[in-house]
Structure 1
Amino acid sequence: MTSKISFTKMVLQNVKERGAWLLVSFLAMLMALPVQTMMRLDNVAAYGLKPKELEKEAANVFLNVTGFDNIFLLLLVVVSAFCLGMTGYMYLYSKEKTDFYHSLPLKRERMYFVPYVSGILIFVLPYLLNLLLALLAGAVKGTFPEGAVSMAFGAFLNHIVFFLVFYHVAILAVMLTGNLFTGAMAYAAFLSYGFIIKEVFIGMAERFFQTVVPSMLQGGSVSIFRLSFHTGGWTFSPLYAYYRSISDAVGISGRNIPWLYMGIGAASAIVVLALCILVFRLRPSESYHKAIAFKKLEPFIKTAVVFPFSVLFALGISSGIGKHVFGWFVVILVFTAWVLSTAMDFLYRMDIRESLRPRISTGVVLGMLAVTTIIYRFDVLKADTYLPKEDKIESMSVYIEKMNGLYSYPYDSAYNRGSSQMKAYLDNTKFEKFQDIYSLAKMGVEVQKDNDGFLKLKDEESVLYYCVRYHLKSGRDVYRYYEIKQDDAAVSLMGKIYDSWEYKEQTLPVEFIDEEKITEIYLKDIHTTNKQVTTSEEMMRKIFKTYKNEWESLSFEESTSQQVVGFLYVDSLTGDKNLKDSDSSVDYGIVQTQSLPLYEGFVNTRKLLEEAGCPVYTAEDVDKIEKVVLTSADEVGNEEDFTFTEPKDIKEILENSMFDQYSNPATDSYPNYSKSVRIYWKDDTGESKDRVYLGKDLPSCVKKVLKTED
């Protein structure tokens, strides 16, 4: 016999019984949407911005709060799903309530869907009502940009889809467990397990491999105690899919509705819902107060927990030991696995003696750990010496730290997207004539084979660091990082790569500056700091175009032999140059500054700068210099000044000096910050110039006063 009470009435009765959660949901949404909208719009109004800027900033804030980029709303989605999923089926954790509900004349499907639907209503109705209030608040405040309604309801749909994903995951966590503690742990595990498994493979690769370094390409890590969790990369987790939907919706290309991730979320929600219903039908009634509702799942869950956490704990504790003395890593790994296995068995049985008994599941975990350690320690799969055949490669790209590290790019450039500029550069460059890059990569692989990844260098030798992307004809991308000795062969390959037009076109910062959007040019040399090149727009474009041509024509050999005598700071707009503020004649847009090295051989650029009233001073202008003061600091920071007035000494010092932001990749020359130079000009014709430094090879006049002559 089954009850004939209306399903709708049962749902409404359940909502009424959970009225406290409905009130909490409404108040939380009230704070996250309309209240936050009004507060943030008032805050923007207090900035004192110009009308156009105020309108733009207010619209941006309004679209963020009512749309995708509302951090409080994101947290509410995840937390509400957990609370409503848990409270809707909490009766399964109680013997009395389970017996009561199962005695009711209701089919199992109806018993499942009554709290299920009421939980959705408790979240959706307050969200929808407060979203309408937030839109109304924006309109009252005078901020209602075009597309606000469509974007707000697109975000509403996205948040609801992923709420259902998290909601179903929370319900599944209840179905699989027998008490609130293990239920909460199961929910956290479902959301984070993808991240945890990824960390196992990343951590093991970075401990035992030299060329496979995922974190370098994914933009850093977050440290918790002694464990590092790396950012970026695909992760099989509903949290990651939710994050990607938000990041795609508010990406650099503008706001859009992430239909792809919504589709993935909807499909995931349906699959997990079906799994929830199946588990609900199979769940034993006597599962209350047990750690796991299904006894047959206990060894599988134990293995799934003990394996990754044993690896992560061993990696964290043994950090810094290295791969050649990894005995302690193995000891810590085995001990941690035994402790965690015992703890899991105790959680299942609440009996210390039973938990200490040897079990097959513990042996399986130890076997998995042994196989994994052997694969990584001895590179069984040859991942560390991977080198595809040339005929399997469609294109390659290379990031050489000593060359690419000198350059910065406009922040709207593709190279600044994501959390790693190195990976962004590798992904957005393509060299179809890759023979020289392949030869450089081959040198890295040979070092890995011969020296097991560890270079043996003499004191005067240096290391060349670089990362390579192989884009295979199969469509797969493979990344590898190499360290080799910077010898003549390596420098020769660097030069060939640099001199190719493919490299210059895709790498030199001048290729990313639109000469039509240049607003100002400043000069920095040994005579002055950031002197504005006061001239016409046409002349500025001519200077930049000439500079661009000379840099594109500069060979690698010339770049290593010529001195950088100054820097051009080029200001340019990222937005529409024709968009102007109604209260000002100044172009409206975001101005960005690029620092560009000025080589001594750029004679045409220097000539144009001189015509614009900005001659570039070099060591040849020694007759205009009164003196040079060298400040030398010892290892403990004690400083001593030495003054040079002889023209030949001054010239020698200037010819061997460099600016603080410049280094020479081929000669491995960097500013020597313990030897700074200050230049004083005659008749106060220039500034007292500092932030100029000597290199590693000191001039003879400096060696003499420092008493370090050979």
Structure 2
Amino acid sequence: MQSKTSLFNRGMWIQSVRNVGWVGALYTLVLLFIVPLQIILRYTGEVNKDGMYTEKLKTLFEVAESLQFLFMFTVPVVLAIFLFRYIQTKSAADYIHSLPISRGVLFWQNVLLGIVSLVLPVIISAIVLFLIKDSVNIEDLYTLKLILHWAIDTIVLNIFVFSGAVFAGMFTGMSILQGAFMYILFILPAALIQFFIMNINFYWYGFATTYYSGQNVQKLVPFVRIIDLLDSGKESYLSLVIYAIVACVLCFIAFIAYRKRSLEIATHAIAFKWLKPIFIYGLTTCSLLLWGMYFGEMKDSFKWLIFGYVFGSLLGYILGHMILAKTWRVFRKWKGYILFVAVAIVIGIGLKVDVFGYSTYLPNQENIQSVYFGEDGYSLTDNSKSHDIEQGDYYKPPYYYSSKNTINFIRVLHKQIIKDHPNISKREIQSGEAREITFAYNLKNGKKVVRQYAVREADYEAFYKRIIETPEYKNHFYYILEPNNKNMRYVKEVQIDAMYKRSEPITIKDSNKIEGLKEAIRKSIQNQTYEDTKSRQQSWSSIDFMDENGQIVDSIPFEKSYKGVEKWLKQEKMFENARIMPEDVSNVVVLKNKDHETLQPSWINNPSILTKRKGALTIKDSKQIDYFLSHTTIQEQGDYIVVFRYKNSSPEVQMFDANMIPTELKEKLK
């Protein structure tokens, strides 16, 4: 019978310090090396002539950040494994638990020692950082506030990772699995959601994979969230409080599990009998979803998806039993697998039949408050906090159309896509023949409906035309047209850089001229037709709007259909410098593409391959040269090949369709 015990046992404390004290000591040296010492090496002594030491630190995690994060996610895990190593070894577990010390004292003493071993190195490093603060050669490189933030963040997150490792250790009898389970514990929720999302995409037509798998899923992974939190330098005290609370909860659950686990469970993979089927079927499910996703995505085929399910489920089920039994002789245990397959088939059929009507659902017009329509599904989950305006990373929120006509046009297109259910391959998307578009409806009842499809725009030109020519669409699609555009207030300079013209870009700094150019661009865009936007003509130049630091706020191509911009540039006597002119061209060579060849890179390097062909026609007339300059395209194939020989730039080869060649030239090119 055990004797009366106290809440603290000095002997066990000393023994534990001897066992794991080296971890804390080593961590102290590591922290001193990767933070204070690095600052001393980088920011003391003479400043280099190039002035490399100019920026103040936004956060101390900028110093050897990769190493800091690496040790934050490994040292606490190693410490937890060594502190509770005795419960994973049968002889040690029997001996330690035979002593007159309660499990509560053993557990909490080890947890306390682990916390002390993680906290003291940080405090020591923080003190050293404070002592060397005035010795660096940049005034206020970092402040006392930054030191405190760094210390608090590191301590809280170290304890969070440590508590996760302790928690994982209570549910296994093997040290190696304790570390593995800890990392799996942090990754599993996000991984399962991501696997499910990627698999659902094969069952429900229109499922918005990009929207549901964006940053929201990644934020479920503590590793990713912690790195984003600390790397941004924008500490969230609420996040730290949440991590601290979760750490306490994990330790409390671990304590309960420690009190209930049997001593005989040491060296076993799973510590509790009720957890074994959860482990096996959980591993089987993860493997099924992972391999189904892999084969389905790689082959873009539902048949390969099913093959992935069969392969993955078998692999996961067998592997799970091997881990539990610690042997490969587990091939007789098939009853559980048959039950799993039966349940999986029922769920799969339910998803394929679409019993919820997900694929055919379309909100009623009267229930729609606004709708997003575009190719960038990522912007729906983006937010301003992930952008740094000071670094030129401007945030552009997703635009939701609220005009009744625009909503109706978008909804009609959506309805037609559901009806047609076009079958688009990945090859078509990668080649640009098809594109992904996203619909996101804000309903009047507060709900949101998001759908994503791959379509060929050519099949829906009549629908696109009505949407694209609406004033509201142009206001959204063209950044410069947006009312109350906040980012445009940062514009201090405009540069116009002409294509194939080796001269300095036109620079405009006069605020009145900048506003005049903006207005000319706005009018030109508003007068554009759908056909203008789909034209394959190459733009004259790029118009870059920049802030006072030279960062581009917005960039707009000077399209050949922008007659308003052309008129304004002529008034300001800038037009000839804003585009390539006939006098910049030596000559143009035109020849018929009889074999319907595609554009070859070798033609650019050696245009004589083309110009020496039989039937090639050389043009030197300035009016005809200007005609070809005004109709240059970016297409890869055409009925005619046109070689532009520039005076101050490398030759350029373009493809022209038959309807773009003047009739009088066609007669000569037969």
- How does the TM-score come out when normalised to structure 1? 0.77
Structure 1 residue corresponding to 2:437, chosen from 466, 470, 482: 466
2:451 is equivalent to residue 483 of structure 1:
no
Distance in 1, matches of 2:266 and 2:511, equals 80
Distance in 2, matches of 1:703 and 1:385, equals 54
Structure 2 residue corresponding to 1:386, chosen from 352, 357, 361: 361
Assess if the C-alpha contact under 8 Å between 1:204 and 1:376 holds in 2.
no
2:508 is equivalent to residue 505 of structure 1:
no
Amino acid at match of 2:480: V
- Aligned equivalent of 1:65: 62
2:402 is equivalent to residue 436 of structure 1:
no
2:567 is equivalent to residue 597 of structure 1:
no
Assess if the C-alpha contact under 8 Å between 1:444 and 1:482 holds in 2.
no
- Aligned equivalent of 1:421: none
Distance in 2, matches of 1:486 and 1:703, equals 34
Amino acid at match of 2:488: D
Segments of structure 2 that go 5 or more residues without pairing to the other structure are 390-394, 604-608, 612-616
Matched residues, number: 636
- Aligned equivalent of 1:570: 544
Amino acid at match of 1:385: T
- Aligned equivalent of 1:627: 587
Segments of structure 1 that go 5 or more residues without pairing to the other structure are 219-229, 419-423, 578-588, 661-668, 682-686
Which piece of structure 1 moves more, 631-640 or 190-199?
A: 631-640
Assess if the C-alpha contact under 8 Å between 1:384 and 1:448 holds in 2.
yes
Structure 1 residue corresponding to 2:491, chosen from 507, 517, 534: 517
- Aligned equivalent of 1:221: none
- Aligned equivalent of 1:124: 119
Which piece of structure 1 moves more, 147-156 or 4-13?
A: 4-13
- Aligned equivalent of 2:291: 313
Q: For residue 466 of structure 1, give the secondary structure of its aligned residue in structure 2.
A: strand
Assess if the C-alpha contact under 8 Å between 1:397 and 1:431 holds in 2.
yes
Assess if the C-alpha contact under 8 Å between 1:672 and 1:695 holds in 2.
yes
Q: For residue 480 of structure 1, give the secondary structure of its aligned residue in structure 2.
A: strand
Assess if the C-alpha contact under 8 Å between 2:410 and 2:467 holds in 1.
no
Q: Deviations along 1:566-604, whole A, 9 cap, x unmatched?
A: 22433522xxx4xxxxxxxxxxx3532743222446455
Q: Deviations along 1:273-313, whole A, 9 cap, x unmatched?
A: 22101101111111111111112211111111111112212
1:697, distance to aligned residue in structure 2 (A): 5.3
Distance in 2, matches of 1:702 and 1:688, equals 29
Q: For residue 59 of structure 1, give the secondary structure of its aligned residue in structure 2.
A: coil
- Which residues in structure 2 correspond to 1:132-151 (within 5 Å)? 132-143=127-138, 145=140, 148-151=143-146
2:522 is equivalent to residue 541 of structure 1:
no
Distance in 2, matches of 1:235 and 1:449, equals 34
Among the aligned pairs, what percent are the same residue? Answer: 16
Distance in 1, matches of 2:557 and 2:519, equals 14
2:306 is equivalent to residue 330 of structure 1:
yes
- Which residues in structure 2 correspond to 1:302-701 (within 5 Å)? 302-317=280-295, 319-323=297-301, 326=303, 328-350=304-326, 355-360=331-336, 362-400=337-375, 428-433=398-403, 435-451=405-421, 453-454=423-424, 463=434, 465-486=436-457, 490-511=460-481, 514=488, 517-524=491-498, 528-529=501-502, 531-533=504-506, 537-538=510-511, 540-557=513-530, 559-560=532-533, 566-573=540-547, 577=548, 589-592=549-552, 594-600=554-560, 602-603=562-563, 605-610=565-570, 612-616=572-576, 626-629=586-589, 639=603, 640-642=609-611, 644-645=618-619, 647=621, 649-658=624-633, 675=641, 677-680=643-646, 687-688=648-649, 690=651, 693-695=654-656, 699-700=660-661
Assess if the C-alpha contact under 8 Å between 1:677 and 1:693 holds in 2.
yes
1:119, distance to aligned residue in structure 2 (A): 0.8
1:116, distance to aligned residue in structure 2 (A): 0.7
Distance in 2, matches of 1:135 and 1:4, equals 40
Q: Deviations along 1:7-66, whole A, 9 cap, x unmatched?
A: 57754653244221122211221222112333444699547138xxx43x2434x64436
Assess if the C-alpha contact under 8 Å between 1:244 and 1:261 holds in 2.
no
Question: Per the alignment, do residues 340 and 570 of structure 1 end up closer, same or farther by CA in structure 2, a change over 3 Å counting?
Answer: closer
Assess if the C-alpha contact under 8 Å between 1:155 and 1:257 holds in 2.
no
- Aligned equivalent of 2:28: 26
Question: Per the alignment, do residues 24 and 696 of structure 1 end up closer, same or farther by CA in structure 2, a change over 3 Å counting?
Answer: farther
Distance in 1, matches of 2:96 and 2:640, equals 79
Question: Per the alignment, do residues 621 and 94 of structure 1 end up closer, same or farther by CA in structure 2, a change over 3 Å counting?
Answer: closer
Amino acid at match of 2:40: M
Structure 2 residue corresponding to 1:107, chosen from 102, 106, 116: 102
Distance in 1, matches of 2:335 and 2:46, equals 63
- Aligned equivalent of 1:299: 277
Assess if the C-alpha contact under 8 Å between 2:409 and 2:466 holds in 1.
no
Distance in 1, matches of 2:385 and 2:464, equals 24
1:376, distance to aligned residue in structure 2 (A): 3.9
Assess if the C-alpha contact under 8 Å between 2:44 and 2:137 holds in 1.
no
Distance in 1, matches of 2:14 and 2:366, equals 67
Q: Deviations along 1:380-429, whole A, 9 cap, x unmatched?
A: 4333333222333322111158xx99xx9xx99899789xxxxx86x532
Question: Per the alignment, do residues 515 and 388 of structure 1 end up closer, same or farther by CA in structure 2, a change over 3 Å counting?
Answer: closer
Assess if the C-alpha contact under 8 Å between 2:435 and 2:455 holds in 1.
yes
Q: Deviations along 1:454-494, whole A, 9 cap, x unmatched?
A: 59xx9xx9656422222233444433222345358x43443
Q: Deviations along 1:335-357, whole A, 9 cap, x unmatched?
A: 43234323322322345555523
2:195 is equivalent to residue 200 of structure 1:
yes
